[in-house]
Amino acid sequence: MPSSSLESLFRPKVACVIGASQHPEKIGHIVFQYLRESQVRTYPVNPSVPEIDGVPCYASVKEIPEPVDLAVITLPAAAVPGAIQECAAAGVRAAIPVSGGFAETGPEGAALERQVKETARQAGMRILGPNTLGILVPASGLDTMFVVKERCQRPPAGAIAFISQSGATGVTVMDAQAYYGVGFSAFVGLGNKVDVNENELCDYFGDDPDTAVLAFYLEDFADGRGFMEAVRRVIRKKPVVMLKAGRSAAGARAASSHTGALAGEDRVTEGVLRQLGVHRVYDEEELVDAARALAYVPPAPGRRVAVVTTAGGHGVILADEIAATVHGFGLEMATLSPETVARLRSETLPIASVRNPVDITASGSTAMMTAAVDDLLADPGVDAIICGVLLQTPYIDASLVDELAKRAHAAAKPIVAYVIGGAVGHEMLRRLEALHVPAYQGTWRAARAVAALVARGEFLRRQKAVTSAAGPSRPLDVPGRPLAEYELKDLLASYGVASPARVVIPPGQELPSSLVPGGPVPFPVVLKVSDPGITHKTEADAVRLRLATRAELESQVAEFRRRFPDKNLLVESMAPAGLEMIVGAVVDRTFGPSLMVGMGGFWAELYQDVTFRALPVHEEDVRDMLASLAGRKVFTGYRGLAVDVDALVQAVLRIGQLAMDIGDRLVTLDVNPLLVTSDGALALDAKLVTRPA
Amino acid sequence: MPSSSLESLFRPKVACVIGASQHPEKIGHIVFQYLRESQVRTYPVNPSVPEIDGVPCYASVKEIPEPVDLAVITLPAAAVPGAIQECAAAGVRAAIPVSGGFAETGPEGAALERQVKETARQAGMRILGPNTLGILVPASGLDTMFVVKERCQRPPAGAIAFISQSGATGVTVMDAQAYYGVGFSAFVGLGNKVDVNENELCDYFGDDPDTAVLAFYLEDFADGRGFMEAVRRVIRKKPVVMLKAGRSAAGARAASSHTGALAGEDRVTEGVLRQLGVHRVYDEEELVDAARALAYVPPAPGRRVAVVTTAGGHGVILADEIAATVHGFGLEMATLSPETVARLRSETLPIASVRNPVDITASGSTAMMTAAVDDLLADPGVDAIICGVLLQTPYIDASLVDELAKRAHAAAKPIVAYVIGGAVGHEMLRRLEALHVPAYQGTWRAARAVAALVARGEFLRRQKAVTSAAGPSRPLDVPGRPLAEYELKDLLASYGVASPARVVIPPGQELPSSLVPGGPVPFPVVLKVSDPGITHKTEADAVRLRLATRAELESQVAEFRRRFPDKNLLVESMAPAGLEMIVGAVVDRTFGPSLMVGMGGFWAELYQDVTFRALPVHEEDVRDMLASLAGRKVFTGYRGLAVDVDALVQAVLRIGQLAMDIGDRLVTLDVNPLLVTSDGALALDAKLVTRPA
């Protein structure tokens, strides 16, 4: 269905509340009251009540004298399918059944949910929910949230579209943010997602002129591939921020009891979100913190951050947060140009510290602070500025807020403010927010917001650099039986992924006379038992390394013949020294075929230094995968190790292509180790598991 | 000097303000006004002013008609040494020179600072600062902070002693915390620390009955070893929390321009703080967050955390934060007992989720919430509880705060509250704080507070387990010249750290005839050039591994003789397979001789998986070092690798003992690799750098 059908949800002219109530504490009253207060003409529907707050009540939707865009259904779950039927019959365009008691509670609820879905589908009616707080559009006052305003503040109109799979998370976060005047273009509670889901909303708010940033709280993805497509349509024009819960096993279990959702493998999600350029956050405060920064100021053109403050200690703390890689964001503290330093020197007090972090001291004034901000803005070595707004000292006054706002909106690099303070500090946070200067209580949150702006800048630049097309899939028919190692290596070779020279010796066959030093399989060699049934060759004592002579090889072959009489033996040239990596593919239940790249070998597996992306991948994706690994130093000459990174990238791309081509039948593909030397990459071992055709 | 001399600073009866001023905006007026409003009898001193706010002004300290405990000096730096002289002559017990312009600004200021120090030392007068905001003791109203209360709220009396090397960090944090009613027993601005430093204050507040927790913001340590001793006297009875800034290179540079402090190596600091049981935090908000939790509720008896909330989504987010090791705290989500689950089932609504996280839903009531908390308190499988206080829903009311407080103060396990909300939420935060229930805006801060309580519990239990004494130093006279590898291995052997069997062949000497397979040096062997001048043997191509026969050995010896004619050669039995670790010692400029243990080998160095402790160390310290490594799985049977952990621990202890015994002349000692096998530990290579005697 086209997104425009969502207009009935977000911009209804006529609404009704089915289950409207006279009792002020009932959901059916709260929803009716707030809808009535909005710009939407709202009709109460309840057969057993004549009027509510002086408004005549209708016994049924079909009696309402004009076409209804939106029905909010506040009846208990069991009554919802009937109400949906009635709405369908009356031509209602969209409905929000708010009650719980559907699939999240068990099979009976799931049956009700199926009825709702089917009826709506047939009628072409859109459904948000069920089991949802519904919608809030502050600009129009559209408000279906059944929590009273006295207990839960509504935010003003703003730039953030907030799409949440948890209604409670939505309302509590908006209440907390409204306290500081943070505005939203809309809130949508997804509920059980029988119809409207995050993907369609991604497109909708991608096109919504009032929305600058999309912020998601999700516990599962309705359709991972659909999400990828939707995000790709939006992400270059609008930042997308996501709190994806259910990351840990414990969290996934909690999510599943909470909404009946199955959480995907988080490592895949992590990689895919990075691949898409979605800014992932890890708690509800960070969700809005990042969204505000991304909505209000431009992305950072680089990683070099400058700090200016009246409190030297804050500068030290911020420098740590910015530059440290542990408990920090691994950015850079900008080195100020001599001109900037000289200018700062002339504009601030002699006791000021004019290196980054710039400390104009407690005796510094608003004029000094704004001059310093101007100097930092003018310095081409500065990509982002963090400025303290601290009114505890005598010569800083609230006009700093306006000065910062002017500069923040004119500059091509971001300015972020931090505040540490009580009543006056909270007032400054409100004023800064009102002028759309991203401002945070505390150093950490400010540094984190800058990190989000840096990541956004890097993503956009990375996108510009994409020159290669991700390869299309060319269906490949792999045998139903498991492939032997040498067969898989032949297949890899046909994709351009080389392996050491080798000879297969079937059971009972003699060792070929060509297998001698100087022959086509250079010595020393490795002898392996080649059998798909042996998954761990070393543990099965089915490998002999470094056999230097024909005699040694013969003696080991004799031993293996005794122990593995009916197996193929594989004689392979011993690989040179190099970097062991692991490259693999899996089919993720959320995102489908996905590629893994990681450090191989004992230690690297111990540290689980791997990263995933959804297939297909671009060359730039693969380079970003390598850059995402903790041990990435190894690619740039660590301890004199020469690594042919281009060959590695090509091998990864080809393994990814193979996985794509295997298609639906892929279970797992592992090339482990992929040995990367100074002039190439070799698959030393490989395994493929497929589903029967 | 005994700590009691600090009473003149913290509990003065009579004070004076030297440089008191009639002008309300001047520091000399603000300090005088606030001191006058306190319980302290305060005299203004200023020769050019007859009276201030109706109080007669004295021309000099010596004219004050009674003995003065505390002089606050608000004069500019240049006038301070004279004022200190005058105070000394008048028998003033303690002074706080608040102005900047001392060592932090350069040599001239440093000279002034030396004068202050010397005069005070001779007179036995205590000095706090200079360059400090001084002291705040909310209980008595003692307040030397020269920021006006209209711009900077003062906190109420409370349980946290806050010792800060940055005055600005101190006042801004207290202002921010006062907004929620967070109380402090005292604030001390350390300033330039010419006399009073963090170590003496650690003892003072360790003995202060009003202080439950010590919270430090430090940029450097006045005396690292002194700090260790002071903390050890306090840490079992009171938790110590520290924000140590200057962690990153950028932060250290910033700290050094800020206070002239030199930051120590942060990895050593990190290890020493853990060794001491100091809870390290990373920003100013976390400092107070952790201090409040540790002050108000007991440490957690274990790592199993339960969550109860009315907002299912929060439960999912919290489960991630609690259990995830990345972007989380690596704790456990408690598994509730069947009895607890049954009880929860009977006490909550049918739609409630009664597994951990417990979600009583938006329809849950205060009574259900308190019943759930009681159930979780009663479950022996739960070590800590996080409870949502969310008044957005209709059936939760503010009485939950009192119910939680009752339980939090009676329970042997900690209860921590979180709030996500606006005006009502902030009010709940204030009420919870007033009743000393640690409460936080947001899930992350609550989970982090629980992690602090878990760490405190683990530290106290680890302390109880200490059975071994850290060894005393037994001075050892090492030669002034660099030791050859084999000499150092002999020295290590005398400390009980074994190496493979070996023979040294001096230049020109024949290969001993005993060097054959089956001889006293078992084959295969390794041949190395042994010379202290060759630091990287592999890079110098001065090592041959895996020589299996006398003939191979002879041919390699001949080659090395040609290339290294005047060097000793070392023939060593080839070590078996095992785990390569690195063990070393350095002399840290802050904490002195310190021990390092880490994963060895290429990959492990790449990941920099090392940890430090100050020497001497207990066996329990060493075991905790191993447990601190990211790759710790390797000690518990990872991939079938058998590691003799006891032998490793003993070897580490002995290497630490050797480093201690070398004493002042130690520069660095490295045993790398220390090979740990299934039945022992072998030093495969070692290097010692000493200072000449």
Lowest mean pLDDT among A290-294, A613-617, B359-363, B530-534: B530-534
For residue B22, count CB atoms less than 10 angstroms from its CB and return exposed for 0-12, middle for 13-18, buried for 19 or more.
middle
A319 neighbourhood in chain B, CB within 8 Å: 248, 250-251, 253-254
Query: From its phi and psi, is residue B381 left (phi > 0), alpha (psi between -120 and 50) or beta?
Result: alpha
Kindly report the average pLDDT of chain B as a whole number.
Answer: 93
**Contact: A390, B633; criterion CB under 8 Å:** no
Q: How far apart are CA B362 and CA B365, in angstroms?
A: 8
In Å, how far are A255, B502, B561, B569 from B558, measured between CA atoms? 69, 18, 5, 11
Chain B interface, mutation test: which of A603, A611, A643, most B Cβ atoms within 10 Å?
A603
Q: How far apart are CA B284 and CA B282, in angstroms?
A: 7
Scan for tokens 């080659």, then name that residue.
B559
Lowest mean pLDDT among A245-259, A409-423, A569-583, A628-642: A245-259
pLDDT at B248: 85
pLDDT at B471: 65
B539 neighbourhood in chain A, CB within 8 Å: 640
**Contact: A312, B639; criterion CB under 8 Å:** no
Q: What is the Cα gyration radius of chain A? A: 31
Kindly report the average pLDDT of chain A as a whole number.
Answer: 93
pLDDT at B605: 78
pLDDT at A471: 66
**Contact: A168, B313; criterion CB under 8 Å:** yes
What would the pLDDT profile of A368-378 be if each residue is shown by its tens digit? 999 999 999 99
**Out of A283, A332, A356, closest to residue B321 by CB:** A283
Beta strands, E only, A246-312: 279-281, 304-309
Q: How far apart are CA A666 and CA A691, in angstroms?
A: 6
Measured at the CA of B505, the angle between CA B503 and CA B509, to 5 degrees, comes to 140
What would the pLDDT profile of B110-141 be if each residue is shown by its tens digit? 999 999 999 999 999 999 999 999 999 999 99
A284 neighbourhood in chain B, CB within 8 Å: 314, 317, 420, 442-443
pLDDT at B135: 97
Scan for tokens 């009825």, then name that residue.
A115
**Contact: B251, A317; criterion CB under 8 Å:** yes
B169 neighbourhood in chain A, CB within 8 Å: 311, 313-314, 317
A420 neighbourhood in chain B, CB within 8 Å: 172-173, 175-176, 284
pLDDT at B469: 67
Which tokens go with A498? 């080389």
A189 neighbourhood in chain B, CB within 8 Å: none
| Cis peptide bond prior to A414, omega within 30° of 0 | no
What is the pLDDT averaged over residues B104-114? 93
Q: Which of B56, B58, B63 is nearest to B89 (CA)?
A: B63
A147 neighbourhood in chain B, CB within 8 Å: 362, 392-394
pLDDT at B517: 93
CA dihedral sign, ordered B613, B615, B617, B623: positive
**Contact: B168, A311; criterion CB under 8 Å:** yes
**Contact: B254, A333; criterion CB under 8 Å:** yes
Q: Among residues of chain B, what percentage have pLDDT more than 90?
A: 85
**Contact: A321, B283; criterion CB under 8 Å:** yes
Q: What fold does the segment set A501-573 form as a domain?
A: Dna Ligase; domain 1 (3.30.1490)
What is the pLDDT averaged over residues B586-601? 92
pLDDT surpassing 90 at residue A452 = yes
B245 neighbourhood in chain A, CB within 8 Å: 313, 316-317, 320
Q: How far apart are CA A499 and CA A521, in angstroms?
A: 12
What is the pLDDT averaged over residues A47-57? 95
CATH class of the structural domain B298-461: alpha beta
Chain B interface, mutation test: which of A21, A150, A172, most B Cβ atoms within 10 Å?
A172
Tell me how close the Cα of B631 comes to any Cα of chain A, in angstroms: 6
CATH 3.40.50.300 fits domain B1-150: no
Q: How far apart are CA A681 and CA A686, in angstroms?
A: 13
pLDDT surpassing 70 at residue B1 = no
Query: H-type helices in B124-236, by residue range?
Result: 167-178, 198-207, 224-234
Q: Which of B663, B666, B685, B664 is nearest to B674 (CA)?
A: B685
Q: How far apart are CA B84 and CA B123, in angstroms?
A: 10
Total Cβ atoms within 10 A of residue B43: 24
Which tokens go with B520? 């006293």
Looking at chain B, which residue has its C-alpha nearest residue A418? Answer: B172
pLDDT at B634: 94
Tell me how close the Cα of B423 comes to any Cα of chain A, in angstroms: 6
Q: Where are the domains of chain A?
A: 1-150, 297-465, 501-573, 579-690
Tell me how close the Cα of A166 comes to any Cα of chain B, in angstroms: 5
pLDDT surpassing 60 at residue A261 = no
For B604, the 3-state DSSP assignment is helix
Q: How far apart are CA A298 and CA A441, in angstroms?
A: 21
A263 neighbourhood in chain B, CB within 8 Å: none
**Out of A177, A603, A605, closest to residue B601 by CB:** A603
**Contact: A168, B310; criterion CB under 8 Å:** yes
| Cis peptide bond prior to B350, omega within 30° of 0 | no
Q: Are A95 and A130 in contact (CB under 8 A)?
A: no
What would the pLDDT profile of B30-81 be if each residue is shown by its tens digit? 999 999 999 899 999 999 999 999 999 999 999 999 999 999 999 999 999 9
Q: Are A219 and A246 in contact (CB under 8 A)?
A: yes
For residue A551, count CB atoms less than 10 angstroms from its CB and return exposed for 0-12, middle for 13-18, buried for 19 or more.
exposed
Task: Lay out the sheet containing B14-18: strands in order across.
Answer: B41-45, B14-18, B70-73, B94-97, B126-127
Q: Which of B283, B247, B328 is nearest to A444 (CA)?
A: B283
Helix (H) or strand (E) holding B563: helix B550-563
**Out of B147, B539, B630, closest to residue A392 by CB:** B147
What would the pLDDT profile of B162-181 be if each residue is shown by its tens digit? 999 999 999 999 999 999 99
Q: Are B99 and B131 in contact (CB under 8 A)?
A: yes
**Out of A173, A323, A604, closest to residue B251 by CB:** A323
pLDDT surpassing 70 at residue A163 = yes
Q: At B262, is the pLDDT very low, low, confident or very high (cuts 50, 70, 90)?
A: very low
Q: How far apart are CA B530 and CA B534, in angstroms?
A: 8
What would the pLDDT profile of A118-137 be if each residue is shown by its tens digit? 999 999 999 999 999 999 99
Chain B interface, mutation test: which of A153, A242, A317, A326, most B Cβ atoms within 10 Å?
A317
Q: Are B598 and B581 in contact (CB under 8 A)?
A: yes
Q: How far apart are CA A568 and CA B354, in angstroms?
A: 56
Q: How far apart are CA A198 and CA B580, in angstroms?
A: 50
Q: How far apart are CA A154 and CA A567, in angstroms?
A: 72
pLDDT at A262: 43
Tell me how close the Cα of B418 comes to any Cα of chain A, in angstroms: 12
pLDDT at A464: 84
B250 neighbourhood in chain A, CB within 8 Å: 319-320, 322-323, 332-333
**Contact: A282, B327; criterion CB under 8 Å:** yes
Helix (H) or strand (E) holding A558: helix A550-563
pLDDT surpassing 50 at residue A636 = yes
What is the pLDDT averaged over residues A78-91? 97
**Contact: A539, B284; criterion CB under 8 Å:** no
Tell me how close the Cα of A424 comes to any Cα of chain B, in angstroms: 7
Looking at chain B, which residue has its C-alpha nearest residue A252? Answer: B316
Q: Are strands B525-530 and B568-573 parallel, antiparallel or unpaired?
A: antiparallel
Q: How far apart are CA B412 and CA A183, in angstroms?
A: 43
Query: Amino acid identity, residue A193?
Result: K
In sequence order, what are the beta bridge partners of A571? A503, A527
Q: At B611, is the pLDDT very low, low, confident or very high (cuts 50, 70, 90)?
A: very high
CATH 3.30.365.10 fits domain B152-171+186-244+270-296: no
Tell me how close the Cα of B289 comes to any Cα of chain A, in angstroms: 13
In Å, how far are A38, A189, A534, B89 from A149, measured between CA atoms? 14, 17, 65, 66
Which tokens go with A293? 């920064």
Q: At B524, is the pLDDT very low, low, confident or very high (cuts 50, 70, 90)?
A: very high
What would the pLDDT profile of B61-71 be if each residue is shown by its tens digit? 999 999 999 99
In sequence order, what are the beta bridge partners of B157? B184
What would the pLDDT profile of B271-298 be if each residue is shown by its tens digit? 999 999 999 999 999 999 999 999 999 9
A351 neighbourhood in chain B, CB within 8 Å: 100-101, 105
B320 neighbourhood in chain A, CB within 8 Å: 245-248, 250-251, 282
Tell me how close the Cα of A559 comes to any Cα of chain B, in angstroms: 21
What global pTM score does this model have?
A: 0.95
pLDDT surpassing 80 at residue B693 = no
Q: Are A155 and A216 in contact (CB under 8 A)?
A: no
Chain A interface, mutation test: which of B259, B317, B626, most A Cβ atoms within 10 Å?
B317
Looking at chain B, which residue has its C-alpha nearest residue A443? Answer: B283
What is the pLDDT averaged over residues A155-183? 97
pLDDT at B353: 93
Q: Which of A588, A579, A643 is nearest to A612 (CA)?
A: A588
In sequence order, what are the beta bridge partners of A186? A161
CATH class of the structural domain A579-690: alpha beta
pLDDT surpassing 70 at residue A260 = no
Q: What does residue A484 show for φ and ψ, rounded to 5 degrees?
A: -70, 160
Q: Which of A95, A132, A101, A90 is nearest to A18 (CA)?
A: A95
Under 8 Å CB pairs connecting chains A and B tally to: 326
Chain A interface, mutation test: which of B190, B341, B603, most A Cβ atoms within 10 Å?
B603
Q: Do B152-171+186-244+270-296 and B298-461 agree at the fold level?
A: yes
A333 neighbourhood in chain B, CB within 8 Å: 250, 253-254
- Dihedral, CA atoms, B313, B315, B321, B327, nearest 10 degrees? -10
Q: Please state which CATH number belongs to domain A297-465.
A: 3.40.50.261
Q: At A530, is the pLDDT very low, low, confident or very high (cuts 50, 70, 90)?
A: confident
Query: From its phi and psi, is residue B347 left (phi > 0), alpha (psi between -120 and 50) or beta?
Result: alpha
**Contact: B255, A316; criterion CB under 8 Å:** yes
Q: How far apart are CA B4 and CA B96, in angstroms?
A: 17
Q: How far apart are CA B585 and CA B598, in angstroms?
A: 12
pLDDT surpassing 60 at residue A536 = yes
pLDDT at A2: 39
**Contact: B602, A603; criterion CB under 8 Å:** yes
B599 neighbourhood in chain A, CB within 8 Å: 603
A323 neighbourhood in chain B, CB within 8 Å: 248-251
